[in-house]
Structure formats: C-alpha cells, structure tokens
C-alpha cells in the first residue's frame, strides 16, 4: 500500500494515506480522551486498555514508542490480519507516541 507520493513539489498523501492518517488521528483523539477525561483517581499508574488493531498498526505503534502487549496470535478478520493486546494508557505513553 502506498501512503505518500513524492514529487518535485513535495510529498502528499495518497487516498490510502489520507484514510490511514484519519484512522491514526482518531486513535490518538480517543486515547487523549481516555487520558484527559477520566479523574486521576480512576487511572492508577500503568492503566491499560485492551485493543484490537490491524497487524500493520501494531508495528506503527511500536515504532512510535507505544508497544502493544499481545494477548494472542494474529487472526484474520475479513481481508486483514488483526491482533489483540494491551496498550498502556497514560500521559507518558501518549506523549511518547506523539513525539515519535
């Protein structure tokens, strides 16, 4: 899948790239809501979320410094491969992902 096209005029996202960026922004927004809207007392240090992601997204999160701790092996869902696991939910993990 090609997500960016490079030309002499710069780099721009392809249709697949725009869809990917939309999904990535949605994940960050949802995570930001989890971190900022819940009272601090309800979020002990090291809180985790159980998530199901596309297999490729696991690699992207790992590169961003936000690794998924797998629950099991990847499984096909429709025409994609999905993986389930735990993601750390904290202001620190969100900052690492945003800074990557």
Q: What is the pLDDT along the chain (100 residues), one digit of tens a residue?
A: 788 899 998 889 899 888 888 887 777 777 666 656 555 544 455 677 777 778 888 888 888 888 888 888 888 877 888 888 888 887 777 777 777 5
**Are the C-beta atoms of residues 37 and 99 closer than 8 Å to each other?**
no
The kind and range of the H/E element at 22 are helix 15-37
How far is Cα 83 from Cα 1, in angstroms, rounded to an integer?
A: 19
Whole-structure pTM value: 0.47
**Are the C-beta atoms of residues 70 and 55 closer than 8 Å to each other?**
no
| Per-residue CA distances from 23 to 11, 17, 30, 90 (Å) | 19, 10, 11, 20
**Are the C-beta atoms of residues 88 and 18 closer than 8 Å to each other?**
no
């Amino acid at each position: 899948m090609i997500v960016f096209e490079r030309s002499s005029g710069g780099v721009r996202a392809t249709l697949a790239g725009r869809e990917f960026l939309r999904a990535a922004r949605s994940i960050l927004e949802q995570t930001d809501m989890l971190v900022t809207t819940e009272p601090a007392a309800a979020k002990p240090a090291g809180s985790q979320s159980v998530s199901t992601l596309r297999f490729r997204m696991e690699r992207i999160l790992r590169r961003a410094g936000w690794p998924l701790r797998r629950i099991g092996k990847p499984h096909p869902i429709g025409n994609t491969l999905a993986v389930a696991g735990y993601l750390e939910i904290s202001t620190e993990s969100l900052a690492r992902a945003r800074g990557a």
